[in-house]
Amino acid sequence: MSVYIGNLSHEVEDKDIRYVFLKYGSIKKILLSTTQKTGAKIKFAVVEMESNNEEIAAIHGLRGTEWMGYSLRVNRANSITDIASSC
C-alpha cells in the first residue's frame, strides 16, 4: 500500500513531504508528480512507507489537514510503480 497525497501546493518539494511524513514512520519512496513535457509539478504525490500501519497512521493524521494554503486529500494509493508509469 502507498499513500496518495493530493491538492498540494505547486511549491512543495520532496523534502517538505518527507518532513511531514516522518512524523508517522520511515519512508521508502516519495514520488512527486511532474508533467513529462515540461517537468512542472502537478498537485499530487505518492509516499511509500515501511509498513502498512505507518501508512494508515499518515492517512488518518493528514487527511483534510491545511498545509501551505491547501486542504490535503490523503488516501490509499495504488502501488507507487503503477502511479509512476501513469505520470
Q: What is the DSSP letter of 51?
A: S
How would residue 82 be classed by pLDDT, with cut points 50, 70 and 90? very low
Instruction: Indicate yes or no: pTM above 0.85.
Output: no
Q: Which residue has 496518495 as its cell numbers?
A: 4
Pairing of strands 41-49, 27-34: antiparallel
What's the CATH superfamily of 2-86?
RRM (RNA recognition motif) domain (3.30.70.330)
pLDDT at position 62: 96
Residue from 59, 46, 50 nearest 8 by CA:
46
For the segment 1-15, the average pLDDT, to the nearest whole number, is: 90
**pLDDT, tens only, 54-78:** 999 999 999 999 999 999 999 998 7
**In the chain, where the domains are located:** 2-86
Give, in order, the Cα–Cα distances in Å from 19 to each of 22, 39, 44, 68, 71: 5, 23, 16, 13, 17
Report the DSSP beta bridge partners of residue 75.
4
